[in-house]
Structure formats: structure tokens, C-alpha cells
Structure 1
């Protein structure tokens, strides 16, 4: 999934959790925490990959073996400052990133690329890129089409919600 789409997924997940709990719009600071969590795996892994230190862009930041302890530290830090809502928001963002990277491989039947989930305990297959999902009337439907829809939905909801997470004014 493209990094910018992870922001949309993170926002959609966080906004849904807020609405389910209190039926309001997300507040600025927790939204920012959710967006940081949603982008963090790529902020960690893409520079490692671009520097040539890894063959793929999903290593340290995308494994549950790092995400678990990272979430525990984030929760402890937020709780120690009596800002548990920030810990929850960060966890939703980070969890949404890891979860959103799974379906494309499952839908395309490319299960070998799911090694990132428990890397380095499981082997890391090279990422094959955009997945072809189907053809409709001669038009190839790829994961990028679905990502575009998710991105548009995330941006639309964020806009309707008043663009939380950034200073307005």
C-alpha cells in the first residue's frame, strides 16, 4: 500500500473508533497521534530500503515483533502523562497500517509476501508491487484502484470532519 493511503486508512479507522465510542468528530491531537502511528512503519522502513540496507521496504517497522513492544512503550508513555487517548489513537494508526498491508497479498493469492508480519522469524520475499486483481470489460483492476478509492474516502471524511490533526486558521 502506498504510504499516503496508510494515512487515509489510519484516519478512517480512528474516526470510526471515535464515532463508535462517543459519536463525535475526532479531536486534533489524538488524530495527529493516529496519523503518526499510521505512517510510522513506512517512516522507519522506506529510508532503510532507499539507503540500500534492505532489499525490501518492509522490515523492522512492519513486523509484529517490533510493533508489540513499540505499542507497549507508547501506551506506557501516554498513560504516564494521563493522555491515554493518545496511546489509543497511536495504536489504532499503527495497527491499521500493519493490517492494511495484508489484504492485497491475500486477494492476489501471493501469501509468500506476508513474511513481513513476523520478520525476521519468517522469510521476507521480494515485494512484487502492484497486484492485479481482476479484469472487467477488458480493464485490469489492480490494487492501486482500490487504494485510490480508500484514499478518496479517507480524504473526504477527514474534510467533512473539519480536517482534524492540523492547525486550522
Structure 2
């Protein structure tokens, strides 16, 4: 999945959970934690494989269900010290949503879920060598754009646009956390 897709899914799920469990919108700190948590597995694994060649695929340490509990527990341990449990929960929720969506993502292409993406070091998906980080990114982006352009305004594209608009709408309804906080800070400095 693309970074913005991971972020959209994580924010959507966390916001719905915050409203139903906490009875409020996500805070700015929670929103930042969702953004970081939703990207961290790829920020760890893609450079390890594509830039440094330490792992064979972009699904290794950061995506491992054996490592994820350690990462989440470490974040909670730090949050206890600073009394920020909801922030740690937001991060963990987003981190785990990344793993689940990577497992389920092949369903969009009519394939079975891919459990190997979260089973490192026991198993990993087959490695494909496409060069360095920028080579991989360019290859996948060109494939994605070609897929969109060749299919026209397909149901998949309409669905993705709809989800994107829904998440932006939800974020705005939540008070645009982070952006609104930055705006208030700028406004207070100007007054």
C-alpha cells in the first residue's frame, strides 16, 4: 500500500475508535502518533532492504508480528513516564493497522491475503531486486499511475477517491487536528 493509504486507513479507524470509546475527536498529539505509527514499518523495512541490502525484502523487522508487540510495549513504557497513554494507544493502533492492511492488501487485486509480510524472520515474501530506494519507489509509482490511467475511472479509483475524501471530511469534522493547532499557535503569535 502507498503511504497515504496507510495513513488514511489508520486515521479513519483511530478517529472512529476515539469517538466511540473516548467520546471525542483525536487530539493533535494522537494524530501525529497515528501518522508516525502508520508509516513506521515501511520507514524501517524499505530502507533496510532497498538502500542498505540488510534484509531481502521490504517486509522484515518493522512488519514482523514478533517485533510489533515489543515496539508497542516500548512506546507504552515511555508514555507512562509522561502520562500520555492515549498517544501510545494511537501509535500502536496505527502501527498494527499498517500490518493488517499489508496482509489484506492483495485482496484488492483478487489474490489471497499475504501472511508472509508479517512473519519475518520465519517467512518473508519473495524478494525482487529493482535497485535502490528511489528505483523501487519510481518503479512502483509508475506501475500505480499506469494502472490508474489504463483503467480509466474504474470502480477501484472511484473507491480510493471516495475513501480519501471521506477521511479528509472526517479529519475536518474532527477539527483538523495538528493543522488547527498550528494555526492557533501562529494566530496567537501574531496578536
- When normalised by structure 1's length, the TM-score is 0.80
What does 1:133-148 align with in structure 2 at a 5 Å threshold? 146-148=159-161
- The structure showing larger relative contact order (alpha-carbon pairs under 8 Å, at least 6 residues apart) is 1
Q: Counterpart of 1:135?
A: none
Residue of structure 1 equivalent to 2:164: 151
Q: Residues 4-43 of structure 1, C-alpha deviation per residue, up to 9 Å, x if partnerless?
A: 1111111111101110123322111111112111111111
Q: How far is the alpha carbon of 1:147 from its aligned partner? A: 4.1
The count of aligned residue pairs is 162
What value does the CA root-mean-square deviation take over the aligned residues? Answer: 2.8
TM-score by length of 2: 0.71
> Where does residue 182 of structure 2 map in the other structure?
168
Mapping for residues 106-125 of structure 1, pairs under 5 Å = 106-108=107-109, 110-111=111-112, 113-125=114-126
Contact 2:105 2:113 in 1 (8 A): no
Of Structure 1 and Structure 2, which has the larger fraction of its residues in helix? 2
CA pair 141-162 structure 1, distance change in 2 beyond 3 A: same
Q: Which residue of 1 aligns with 2:22?
A: 22
| Residues in 2 aligned to 1:56 and 1:158: alpha-carbon distance in whole angstroms | 33
Higher radius of gyration, 1 or 2: 2
More strand by share: 1
1:128-167 CA-partner distances (Å, limit 9, x unpaired): 987xxxxxxx97655x665444333222211232221344
